Chain A
């Protein structure tokens, strides 16, 4: 990585690969492993060193360790935001026994998931610039000095591959174009996130001395590339990357932040557009529920300790009705607020025979979907904002919004707000 022809740009510092192999000073097995790792590998014949493998094949004066370190730091923060918000969303949908998620503020999930998608989109120029800045490293000669060097390069390949994978599948998913993936996005995105962040930590561990030197200890006068070439300077590049992230954000964030909707020309939803002024992610046609949902003989099955009971629409409407303002916050990053009217889940749990703490499982008329069922933890059952909604705005629910009845609860992803509810099962906790 040190450019011998430009000592002014990169002051001498410990070679990062050598630092990676710094002795761990442990006896026995570790020492043997280390010796094994440092076994030199035979270098390929120099005749193969052609094209981009030649010394000085990448002449841009803009590349520097400082630039790479700065882009890396920003990218690390952005990846961290995506990982934490992504994990949150995962655990809200697949909670372990240790996981707890509050019912309020009701807009929290729309913020965390909106941030997840917005940050993922803003990563595009950052990741592009970072990969450009280290592209010559791909043609390092010799390709692998020793086993450890080969492993380190392999981990970089994993990092690059998993990073591009995450950003690309994310973009495909919010654009609802699943065919190029050919796998179930959610699970793939989840495990690849662990792979990417794991590889990132290994990468940071290897490069930490270089990062420290170039991020915190570099003298500015040495760091600045001369502007005489008339090309983009380091600051210019960082500005362009920031501008790219900014343009993408403004062009999309209106899908969750309604005031910016008019300028978000690349937003995947318009907050006010859809049946009853609210976007839809799964239609009644797509879910195959039209016949069952419009059946005049529809009865909600309420299952409690006292056994099942059937409630007609008239019976549901006769129960205490409450109106709440809650957002639909999609995992795809868009969200929109609406005013819902219906029966409190707390009242239904009591009606089912559980006046105390209760967990509720809501099942849809939709068959064969992994999102056909969702579970409400006791805090959500008790929250007065959690409704079995029958009306949206002033009207009965549109068929696409879950007619005859849907679940609406605060601070939850849209996929858990089960539509076309067939059965509610109440269990005492």
Chain B
């Protein structure tokens, strides 16, 4: 395995070197803009998106009861992925009047439809879980919410 690892690492370093030398010597590369975009890509995940998802995760844990919670988490993962892929289409800055056949659809409607389909699927799953597991016990959940929001009287 040591040989395999050494081979992988050496190939990887060679490829990265090729990338860096190529980028430094290519007249097509705008180095400053390229580096900024790389840095923004890193920060976008580490500083913006990851904390956002963690925050949503904490909120779901507090607000959504099992056995629905897993379905809501799954549906949110799908929604987030579709959203990331769709944002430039939703903003629509790529459209130009001379090219009506490029980006020809109503992407806001398409996005809403897609997300609705995802959550309709999630609702079906939740309905199935309700039948399988029965109505989730309110007492434990109410008790837990009660602990967190003591001043708030539920029922």
Binding site for B on A (CB under 8 A): 22, 24, 58, 60, 121, 124-125, 128-129, 131-132, 135, 138, 157-158, 160-165, 168-169, 171-172, 175-179, 181-184, 186-188, 191-195, 197-206, 208-209, 212, 229-233, 236-237, 239-241, 243-245, 247-248, 251-252, 265-270, 273-275, 278-283, 285-286
Contacts and interface: CB of A to CB of B under 8 A. Distances in A.
Contact of B114 (A24, A230, A251): A251
Given A177-B94, A198-B12, A273-B104, 13 more contacts: A171-B87, A175-B89, A175-B93, A177-B93, A181-B33, A184-B30, A195-B23, A206-B5, A208-B4, A208-B5, A232-B73, A247-B81, A247-B117
B135 to A, nearest CB: 14
B82 A131 contact: no
A240 B9 contact: no
B123 interface: no
A247 B37 contact: no
Find the residue from A178, A181, A265, A267 having the highest chain B CB count within 10 A: A265
B41 A165 contact: yes
B45 A183 contact: no
A281 B78 contact: no
B26 A191 contact: yes
A247 B54 contact: no
B85 interface: yes
A269 B100 CA distance: 10
B77 A129 contact: yes
Contact of B70 (A161, A231, A247): A231
A273 B94 contact: no
B74 A179 contact: no
A268 B94 CA distance: 10
A131 B50 contact: yes
Contacts of B11: 198, 201
Nearest to A275: B101
Contacts, number: 256
Contacts of B111: 265-266
B36 to A, nearest CB: 8
A131 B43 CA distance: 12
A266 B44 contact: no
A135 to B, nearest CB: 5
A237 B46 CA distance: 20
19 contacts: A171-B88, A176-B94, A177-B93, A182-B37, A198-B11, A202-B16, A203-B12, A206-B9, A231-B61, A237-B74, A237-B77, A240-B74, A244-B78, A252-B85, A265-B113, A266-B114, A269-B102, A280-B101, A286-B96
Nearest to B8: A205
B19 A191 contact: yes
Nearest to B103: A268
B114 A198 contact: no
Contacts of A24: 2, 6
A205 B9 contact: yes
B18 A194 contact: yes
A195 B19 contact: yes
Contacts of B20: 195
B81 A194 contact: no
Contact of A192 (B14, B19, B28): B19
Contacts of B61: 231
Interface residues of B, number: 80
B91 A177 contact: yes
B46 A160 contact: yes
A183 B69 contact: no
Given A233-B70, A265-B110, A202 B12 contact: yes
Interface in B45-97: 45-46, 49-50, 53-54, 57, 61, 65-67, 69-70, 73-75, 77-78, 80-82, 84-89, 91, 93-96
A247 B89 contact: no
A157 B41 CA distance: 10
Nearest to A157: B42
A201 B12 contact: yes
A245 B77 CA distance: 10
Contact of B98 (A168, A192, A270, A285): A285
Interface in B19-43: 19-20, 22-23, 26, 28-30, 33-34, 37-39, 41-42
B66 A194 contact: no
Contacts of A268: 89, 102-103
Given A177-B93, A283-B99, A248 B81 contact: yes
A280 B96 CA distance: 12
B9 A191 contact: no
Contact of B8 (A161, A178, A208, A244): A208
B152 interface: no
B16 A195 contact: yes
B82 A160 contact: no
A132 B19 contact: no
A187 B73 contact: no
Given A184-B28, A198-B12, A191 B81 contact: no
B8 A209 contact: no
Contact of A179 (B1, B19, B89, B93): B93
